[in-house]
Chains A and B, each alone.
Chain A
Amino acid sequence: QVQLVQSGAEVKKPGASVKVSCKASGYTFTAYYIHWVRQAPGQGLEWMGWINTHTGDTNYAQEFQGRVTMTRDTSINSAYMELSRLSSDDTAMYFCARAGEGFTFGYFDYWGQGTLVTVSS
């Protein structure tokens, strides 16, 4: 069965960086785009960007340009999201999600369980 398993919770200081991983199983990793979505406490869903797991191409939301880097390692079927220059506003649950077959931007049919990132001095 399709699974996306994310790395564990992180606590970071302001100005630091965080790298979250998302390990895929149950399907051909390079056949589907991986997106990253975050959710601040009590808030809605905010799209951050995607990575083409086949080519490594990326596309980021304007709000995160210059601060986010998405990568992948096809040898271990994993995608990564690194966010730098963290502030308290970045405290959120971060999700990876798989775009539906054939889609670059698309609906998200499978989601990771989420990784809580807390930014606090």
Chain B
Amino acid sequence: EIVMTQSPATLSVSPGESATLSCRASQSVSFSLAWYQQKPGQAPRLLIYGASTRATGIPARFSGSGSGTEFTLTISSLQSEDFAVYYCQQYNNRQTFGQGTKVEIK
């Protein structure tokens, strides 16, 4: 099973600043990497797939990059609605989720 490791576990950011979240795979997943946002009491929401393609309706301040084993989600100019938990998921070999990164208000 491919293990996905996200860092940091918690990221404290002030509104208007940018946030950089990392996701590492235990073996190469090529570009088969997705990012999700989850707010309390809600289902996850797809942000990015194919490592860098924004899903329908996702604002341009969300961007994804990386390939192989190292991936990054960048949120530029954080808005109040962006404070949430973010998960990465690989789907190159079956599928597995990371443990999540909580983005909280500093």
**In the complex, A95 Cα to B89 Cα: how many Å?**
16
**Chain A contact surface mostly:** loop
Which residue of B46, B97, B100 contacts A109 across the interface (Cβ within 8 Å)? B46
Q: Which residues of B contact A32 (CB under 8 A)?
A: none
How far in angstroms is the closest Cβ of chain B from A96?
Answer: 9
B-contact bits for A84-111, CB 8 A (1 contact / 0 none):
0000000000010100100101111111
| Number of A residues with CB within 8 Å of any CB on chain B | 18
Contact B43 A107 (CB under 8 A): no
How far in angstroms is the closest Cβ of chain A from B43?
Answer: 4
- Asked if B96 lies at the interface with its beta carbon under 8 angstroms from chain A, I say yes
| Number of B residues with CB within 8 Å of any CB on chain A | 19
Contact B44 A105 (CB under 8 A): no
Contact B44 A107 (CB under 8 A): no
- Asked if A44 lies at the interface with its beta carbon under 8 angstroms from chain B, I say yes
Of chain A, the residue at the smallest CB distance from B96 is A47
Contact B46 A107 (CB under 8 A): yes
- Asked if B106 lies at the interface with its beta carbon under 8 angstroms from chain A, I say no
List the 9 closest pairs (A to B, CB-CB), nearest first: A107-B34, A111-B43, A107-B49, A45-B97, A105-B95, A44-B99, A105-B91, A106-B91, A44-B100
Q: Which residues of B contact A (CB under 8 A)?
A: 34, 36, 43-46, 49, 55, 87, 89, 91, 93-100
13 pairs, CB–CB < 8 Å, chain A vs chain B: A44-B98, A44-B100, A45-B36, A45-B87, A45-B89, A97-B43, A105-B93, A107-B34, A107-B46, A107-B91, A109-B55, A110-B46, A112-B43
